[in-house]
Amino acid sequence: MELSIRAATLEDCKDISRMILELAVYEKVEDQVKITQKDLEQDGFSKNPFFHAVIAEVPEEHRTKDGHTKIGYSLYFYTYSSWKGRAVYMEDLYVMPEFRGKGIGKALMSKVAQLGLAAGCTQLNFAVLDWNRPSLDFYLSQGCWDVTSDLGYHCMRCEGEALHTLAQRDL
């Protein structure tokens, strides 16, 4: 199948927003999505973007039954490891269900890896749900490894009221 993997543009935000919701439904957390198309436009395409994205796009003759040609995406941003230096974090990797198993996820992930290496990154980091065996198997087949089981790290988060309380603490 003919496929294009390219940098996302401002005009892609509507489709990225749609696919973020599709991913959240698949992961059974659609109630957690608070981001809007406008947030994506501002946060990804301003003077100092918070994220970058790549899009998988098929020609019109392969569009979905709903008329979509943008059928996958990966959202990523750059981070820094105090031990290893520059790193790239892949926040999302998503391919619409009817296009899975065709190498599109691998192509998207490969593009993020290429961009990371070009930026001097030494590692690609991401998280995957423990119940998502197809994704775990896919990532392992790409040469990735589970930092949680091998190094014992846990991914932590602080948000909402706890984040506000933490920010207000005095020394």
Q: Exactly one of 73, 76, 89, 139 is catalytic; which is it?
A: 139
* CATH fold group of domain 4-126: Aminopeptidase (3.40.630)
Q: Is 118 left (phi over 0), alpha (psi -120 to 50) or beta?
A: alpha
Tens digit of pLDDT at every position of the chain (171 positions): 799 999 999 999 999 999 999 999 999 999 999 999 999 999 999 999 999 999 999 999 999 999 999 999 999 999 999 999 999 999 999 999 999 999 999 999 999 999 999 999 999 999 999 899 999 999 999 999 998 888 888 788 888 899 999 899 876
Please list, in sequence order, all residues whose beta carbon lies within 8 angstroms of the beta carbon of residue 163, skipping any fewer than 6 positions away.
none
43: which 2 tokens? 């946060």
Give the whole-angstrom CA distance, residue 157 versus residue 49: 22
- What are 168's two structure tokens? 């207000």
Whether 139 is catalytic: yes
26: nearest Cα among 110, 85, 97, 103: 97
Which pLDDT score, from 0 to 100, does residue 149 have?
81
